[in-house]
Amino acid sequence: MTVRVRFAPSPTGYLHIGGLRTALYDYLFAKQKGGKYILRIEDTDRTRYVEDAIENLLSAMEWSGVIHDEGPFLEEGKIVQKGEYGPYVQSERLHIYREHIEKLLESGHAYYCFCSKERLDKVREEQKARGETTRYDGHCRNIPLEEARKRVENGEAHVVRLRLPENRDATFEDAVRGTVTMNTSELDDQVLIKADGFPTYHFAVVVDDHHMGITHIIRGEEWLSSTPKHIILYEAFGWDVPKFVHLPNILNKEKKKLSKRHGDVAVGDFRKKGYLPEALVNYIALVGWSPEGNEEIMTMDEMIEKFSFDRVSKSGGVFDIDKLNWVNSHYIKKADLDRLTNLCIPYLIEDGLIAEEEKDLKFDWVKRIVKTAQERIEYLAQISDYAKRFFGEEVKLESEEVKEVLNQEHVKDLLNIFKEKVMNAEEINDEFGKKVFKMIQKETGIKGKNLYMPIRAALTGQLHGPDIDQVIVILGRENLIKRIEYVEKNYI
């Protein structure tokens, strides 16, 4: 059996972190088994459809590196569908659903329902008052099909419902939760076709998964209670039932389901802040799953090799931003410097530190700043605040301790000597940055902390930070002189 899995989001907004994890688990499982990972767009809820949501979704998936084998793709700004099981957008498959709902109506597994919203609301209120589970009361179950068809032809508003068998246990094996059994008495005669003629999720998902050859359905635990209804639909059509995998929710630190109210949850939010895709994917994989060796840093190929649903937790995984930052900082430290620089430049432009037209001219200079930042930032949006220390002539002292260092007896002469070396240097380059301290030590006998700390304090206002020889090169001759003079005037 060739494994075929699918990720089937609705275009109702951004790609949520939970959605990315589901897609990732689909991808890892399919690649490990030599199968196919399909992307399908479930856009039958037209009331919640968001313009450009599909394009944004495809862009986020491409950025993350979780790339599907079949489905819609973005090519030169246009959506193109690829694969032999299309269309992969549900609103383009309405003729298929119409054909299949007719089969269910003819076989008696579905029926027309003409109940108004007012009647349904009243029934639910009465059930609540009696302490019962709210569910459809079957008012239209026994209307003969021919009579129902005439009412439909006369323009009467209607939906089509699934006729659930009464008091029947539906049992299935879930790869995460084991054996699950639910009785149909706890379930509702689910609407399959809505009043607008569009299928509900519960109907379309079964038809599409069958026709696209899906072997394993991997989705969030919120769909667990719906699975018996889906199984009954498979049986009504005489189709093989796929295997089910229901993933635990992603939780916030308060152990509640992660939502927009709790901060950034969209993949786009993390992309905008400058999280590297490989870091986000690495971390998200571990929110609910752990490899046998409990490794924390893994490439995509390593995750494919190690992934198993046996190691997916039944309980929700906690999304810890501090842990994500740790993982991301690891990837920043290991990242190619040119790539990081290109990713950092837009933040510097946005914050007015460099101009758009000078980004190429200043690339190598920014690259030096980024190199010193690699060990110190957790996500790339932090580059602007970090880089500000290299702009301008003003020096702000970080603490009283810095002032004490600058007020040492030898510092005034030391800074004058340093300033003289800067003024007389042929070029302020890496060679100068490394040699200037040796020259001053040889001339004055000042060494160690007494040499390095006052110069660092005068140039940055801090006692600790990036390599001082790199700071010197980044600041350049003019700023070095102006900063020394500023410190002499204001602090010494």
Q: Specify whether 260 is catalytic.
A: yes
pLDDT along the chain (492 residues), means of 10: 94 90 98 98 84 92 97 94 96 96 97 97 95 92 97 97 93 95 91 94 96 97 94 97 96 81 78 98 96 95 97 92 97 98 98 96 97 97 96 93 95 97 96 95 95 97 94 97 96 89
- pLDDT at residue 259, rounded to an integer: 72
Indicate the helix (H) or strand (E) that contains 4: strand 4-7
Tokens standing for residue 261: 């109210």
For tokens 């009464």, name the residue: 166
Q: What is the dihedral of CA 416, 419, 423, 424, to 10 degrees?
A: 70
**pLDDT (tens digit, 9 = 90+) per residue, 402-445?**
999 999 999 999 999 999 999 999 999 999 999 999 999 999 99
Distance CA 477, CA 90 (A): 63
Tokens standing for residue 87: 């269309």
Helices (H), 335-467: 337-350, 363-373, 383-387, 400-406, 411-424, 430-444, 449-460
Tokens standing for residue 368: 């030096």
The two beta strands, 169-174 and 178-183, are: antiparallel
**pLDDT (tens digit, 9 = 90+) per residue, 298-347?**
999 999 999 999 999 999 889 999 999 999 999 999 999 999 999 999 99
Please pick, among 260, 334, 388, 396, the residue that the annotation labels catalytic. 260
- pLDDT at residue 379, rounded to an integer: 98
Tokens standing for residue 278: 């490989």
**pLDDT (tens digit, 9 = 90+) per residue, 4-45?**
999 999 988 889 999 999 999 999 999 999 999 999 999 988
| Structural contact between residues 316 and 253, judged by C-beta atoms closer than 8 angstroms | no
Q: Going by C-beta distance under 8 Å and a sequence separation of 6 or more, which residues neighbour residue 38? A: 4, 5, 6, 7, 68, 69, 70, 71, 83, 85, 88, 212, 214
- pLDDT at residue 301, rounded to an integer: 97
DSSP 317: E
Tokens standing for residue 105: 């109506």
- pLDDT at residue 161, rounded to an integer: 98
Tally of CB atoms within 10 A around 337: 12
Q: What is the dihedral of CA 456, 459, 461, 465, to 10 degrees?
A: -50
| Structural contact between residues 34 and 80, judged by C-beta atoms closer than 8 angstroms | no
DSSP 375: T
